Structure 1
Amino acid sequence: MSINIDNEYNNYFIGDKEVRDLLTRGGERKLEGLPNQHIDLKNLEKRIEANKFVKDAEVSRGLDGNVHVQVKQTRPIARIIRTNQQDVYIDAAGNILPLSDRYTARVIPITKSALIKPSDKGFFQDSIGQSYLSLLEFIENDPFWKAQLAQMHIDGAGKVAFLPQVGEHTIEFGKPVRIEEKFRKLMILYKEVLPTMGWARYKRVNLEYEDQIICE
């Protein structure tokens, strides 16, 4: 077997050994040496895709007679911190992913008010949750904000706040709307105000309102 795992986002949740175990059901069903007509390629794809860290799998026969496996991994974009339960990841579609003993993704951690329904019941997959996913994907795709934002909290009213890596302030983002506009305002603050006033000057930065930033 020839196995190729796509690590486009530098995720290493699954390796060659895990893929081989999925294909052979932990070594119980050997593939090497089997006649081609005895190998169900679609069934092998389903075995691999049963792993939550696999987004897509393609299994094919090569002209060399070997089985070729292409695996695309799921990409977590956040980690949900849960009280009295193990944390979980979510991907860009809002799917819940378990933690892995093999690899820890460097994604923003999220805490949520107890008034927000549990994430494993679809909070990030309903119409409201999609706006939060858009916010998380924006952060994940922007190297500066991915590095600067240390934690995200969603309160009972659905408003978002961030704790930064640098600075003593809380960023009050509000509802996940006008995402790019709010981050543009925050970048102006970071580039033009805080270097002069000092990074410890403000404890609260509010971005909720159009065309203004409130700093206290």
Structure 2
Amino acid sequence: MSIKIDNEYNNYFIGDREVRDLLTREGERKLEGLPNRAIDLKNLEKRIEANKFVNDAEVYRGLDGNIHVKVKQNRPIARLIRSDQDVYIDVEGHTLPLSDRYTARVIPVTKSALIKSLDDEFFQDSTGQDYLSLLQFIENDRFWKAQLAQMHIDGKGKITFLPQVGDHTIEFGKPVRVEAKFRKLMIFYKEVLPVMGWDKYKRVNVEYEDQIICE
């Protein structure tokens, strides 16, 4: 078997050994030496795709007679800190378990007890989609991905961030007008802090349209 795993986003949740175990049911069903007609390629694909860390799998027979396997991994964009069990959330809003093999460098998210559970169902409804879009924006922006250390959702659904650099709290409000709010926040970082100093303010609020509140 020839196994190729796509690590486009530097994810290492699953390796050759894990894929081989999925294909062979942890060694119980050997593939090497079997006649071609005895190998169900579609069934092998389903086995691999049943793994939560796998987004897509392709299994095909090459001209050389070997089985070729291509695996595309899921892309986590946040880590949900929950009382029962921490999980990742992927780019499509589905939860993924934590892995002993690899820890993704993504933003941790906490929530108030007044907000319903952050699970697959939450991120698929119209309200949750706004939070998912915000997390996708952060994941795809190099600066904000590096600068935002933690995200919290309060009982009213409003968001605050803790930064990697600086002692201030960022009050973001609800996940609407996301790009406009981050543009205002960038003004704060580029034009206000260099003049006033990084320790001048304890909170910056970009929730309201056409204004930045610094205290």
User: What is the CA distance between 1:80 and its match in structure 2?
Assistant: 0.4
Unaligned runs of 5+ in 2: none
- For residue 191 of structure 1, give the secondary structure of its aligned residue in structure 2: helix
Q: TM-score, normalised by structure 1?
A: 0.98
- In the other structure, the counterpart of 2:72 is 72
Q: TM-score, normalised by structure 2?
A: 0.99
User: What is the CA distance between 1:92 and its match in structure 2?
Assistant: 1.4
- In the other structure, the counterpart of 1:86 is 85
Following TM superposition, the consecutive aligned residue runs of length 4 or more in structure 1 with deviations greater than 4 angstroms are none
Report the residue type matching 2:32 in the other structure: E
User: What is the CA distance between 1:121 and its match in structure 2?
Assistant: 5.7
1:199 and 2:198 aligned: yes
Distance (whole Å) between structure 2 residues aligned to residue 114 and residue 176 of structure 1:
19
- In the other structure, the counterpart of 2:180 is 181
Distance (whole Å) between structure 1 residues aligned to residue 3 and residue 69 of structure 2:
5
Deviations 1:20-48 (CA, angstroms, capped at 9, x unpaired) = 00000000000001000000000000000
Q: Give the aligned length.
A: 215
Report the residue type matching 2:24 in the other structure: T
- For residue 126 of structure 2, give the secondary structure of its aligned residue in structure 1: coil
User: Please, what is the CA RMSD of the aligned residues?
Assistant: 0.7
Q: Percent sequence identity over matched residues?
A: 83
User: What is the CA distance between 1:207 and its match in structure 2?
Assistant: 0.5
Distance (whole Å) between structure 2 residues aligned to residue 125 and residue 92 of structure 1:
12
Distance (whole Å) between structure 2 residues aligned to residue 3 and residue 40 of structure 1:
17
- In the other structure, the counterpart of 1:41 is 41
Distance (whole Å) between structure 2 residues aligned to residue 119 and residue 190 of structure 1:
31
Report the residue type matching 1:2 in the other structure: S
Q: Is the CA contact 2:42–2:59 (under 8 Å) kept in the aligned structure 1?
A: yes
Distance (whole Å) between structure 2 residues aligned to residue 103 and residue 109 of structure 1:
16
Distance (whole Å) between structure 1 residues aligned to residue 17 and residue 161 of structure 2:
39
- For residue 119 of structure 1, give the secondary structure of its aligned residue in structure 2: coil
